[in-house]
Amino acid sequence: MKKSEVVLTQYSPLMAVDAKLIGSDGELGETPRVYALCRCGESDAKPMCDGTHARVEFSGEREDSDKPALEYYEGKQITIVYDRYLCMGAGYCGELEAVFGTHDAPKYEPDAGSPEEIIATIKKCPSGALTYMIDGKHAKDYFDETCIVVEKDGPLHCQGEIELKDDQDSDGLLPDADHYTLCRCGGSKKKPLCDGSHEENGFRG
């Protein structure tokens, strides 16, 4: 089986290799074995690259590489594991407010909900910022299928076994999991990872 990869440099688009692409409409796109995805936010052919990054002199240099240690919130039946660096503010955790609080007042109370509720909520987290442990086992791989999913007006969701290769050692910042999110608005300070900047800069695509 061919290995799926995303390969890039600071000044290039995202080059996807042997990765299925699911559009924001939920449909499987027809792509060649290697294809280029926009990450400058300016392409007229989103999600595909049209070369605009060269004209606008896009730089994908990462501004924030300060990744803190994992945080563990231990409950009686389940432990919530939080990678603060990876959070891109998707907001699904806020659906279980008793456990995770709100965007403005976050908290982590694993005994305030059932393990089933917490697991279901954590599995909605696209960036890998939230995972969980039960009986000492860290559960962090959730996807049977390998693909890249385009979020409308948002990032790229890399799911399954997709290796990230670039010239900034970004793979060292990824979650120890089978999913992560990549910026395509051009505004993230944690490039190539998404930090939620698309919500602030009005990205559409």
Q: What does the DSSP assignment read for 9-63?
A: -TTS-EEEES-EEE-TTSPBPP--SEEEE--SS--TTTTB--SHHHHTT-----S
Domain span holding position 179:
4-63+143-201
pLDDT over 70 (residue 1): no
Query: What's the CA gap between 82 and 89, in Å, rounded?
Result: 13
Whether residue 87 is found in the same domain as residue 134: yes
Whether residue 151 is found in the same domain as residue 122: no
pLDDT over 70 (residue 98): yes
Considering 86, 106, 139, which residue would you say is the last residue of a domain? 139
What contacts 193, CB < 8 A, 6 or more positions away?
Answer: 86, 88, 127, 170, 173, 174, 180, 181, 182, 183
- This prediction's pTM: 0.96
Specify the CATH number for the domain of residue 109.
Answer: 3.30.70
Three-state SS at 131: strand
Average pLDDT value for residue range 63-90: 97
Considering 121, 139, 157, which residue would you say is the last residue of a domain? 139
pLDDT over 70 (residue 60): yes
Count other Cβ atoms within 10 Å, centred on residue 103. Answer: 10
The pLDDT confidence band at residue 104, using thresholds 50, 70 and 90, is: confident
Average pLDDT value for residue range 119-138: 97
What contacts 175, CB < 8 A, 6 or more positions away?
Answer: 83, 86, 127, 128, 129, 131, 140
